[in-house]
Amino acid sequence: MEKIFIKQLTKEILEKNINRFIDILSDIPDEYWKSEHFLLELPSKWSFSLYATNNLEQIIGYIIASYKDFYNSIHINKFMIDKRFRGQNIGTLMLEHFENKCKTEKKNLITLKVKKSNYSAICFYLKHNFKIHSEHSDYLLMKKDLG
Ligand SMILES: CC(C)(COP(=O)(O)OP(=O)(O)OC[C@H]1O[C@@H](n2cnc3c(N)ncnc32)[C@H](O)[C@@H]1OP(=O)(O)O)[C@@H](O)C(=O)NCCC(=O)NCCS
């Protein structure tokens, strides 16, 4: 397997590679994020967001996350792996880095929303010990306690 590098996302990296970030989510139905959504300023976004590259320095995935006052938590706004690289453990590796960072920064909780129809992502999160917190019309709110 090729070597994967996980790095902290900066505004500069995101701006420089914005088309690549958009391209990675282009196969997801109903996905609406454009550059203005990626570039929106959110609390602690540049401390918690990550991206992954392969040994050719291609960007192959990212976690965009931000701080929420509620219960001292970090919310995953977007988590995407390039479709050619899914199912190769890269999401797991990214999530582990992300969780370690949240723990180091003494955060209590990770939250995210996932579409009810997105079975593979729900399986992925359940496998990583996220719990279903609440059910809404077309999505689930999931959470993981870090305490
Ligand atoms: C969900 C996602 C981030 C997981 O990352 P990943 O690198 O594919 O996941 P890993 O390889 O670490 O883990 C594989 C597990 O994820 C799940 N999975 C999700 N998509 C998969 C795919 N296309 N192929 C294989 N497994 C997939 C399976 O439960 C699998 O478990 P298994 O290995 O026991 O079968 C990634 O598949 C992705 O970007 N999906 C599309 C975007 C998305 O749905 N994001 C989440 C929205 S909240």
The tens place of each residue's pLDDT in the chain, 147 residues long, gives 689 999 999 999 999 999 999 999 999 988 999 999 999 999 999 999 999 999 999 999 999 999 999 899 999 999 999 999 999 999 999 999 999 999 999 999 999 999 999 999 999 999 999 999 999 999 999 999 998
Q: Which residues line ligand 1 (CB under 6 A)?
A: 28, 79-81, 86-92, 112, 114, 118, 120-121, 123-124, 127
Closest residue to atom 8 of ligand 1, CA basis? 86
pLDDT of residue 94: 98
3-state secondary structure of 10: coil
Cβ(125)–Cβ(88) below 8 Å: no
pLDDT of residue 49: 98
Ligand 1 pocket: which of 2, 21, 81, 94 to mutate (most atoms within 8 A of CB): 81
pLDDT of residue 1: 65
Topology adopted by domain 5-108: Aminopeptidase (3.40.630)
